[in-house]
Structure 1
Amino acid sequence: MSIGTLAMGLLPSIGVGGLFFFIMRGIIRADRREREAIAQLDRDEAQRAQRLTAEHGDQPTE
């Protein structure tokens, strides 16, 4: 068995492994960015609610 034959046999597996790595890295990064964006939205909403409460006091809404 020559080195060329061995390399040609391993090349598809290495290629699929590399493709899998980059796809999974993209998915994980996208998930991280989405979680950060949702956390930012939650913080903004909490600040807005706190500001509205401070402006209007603890008046009951009807």
Structure 2
Amino acid sequence: MLKGWKTLAFNAALAVLGVLQAADWVDLLGSERAGIAVTVIGIIGAVLRFMTDTPAMKGKSA
């Protein structure tokens, strides 16, 4: 079940990173806000990792 999800996730992450890299975040948010935005995104990712207890793309087994 869900075989190949790692390849799909990797390719989706590359596509998203390409779009994010192309954006000029300093122009969009200002120099102070751009740094804060990246920090907040990192903190949210870490918090979400601690809140989950199952591997990616898998639900709890019944």
TM bracket, shorter-chain basis: 0.3 to 0.5
Identify, as 1 or 2, the structure richer in helix.
1
Say which structure, 1 or 2, has more relative contact order (CA 8 Å, 6+ apart).
Answer: 2
Instruction: Provide TM-score, normalisation by structure 2.
Output: 0.40
Q: Which entry has the higher C-alpha Rg, 1 or 2?
A: 1
Structure 1 length-normalised TM: 0.40
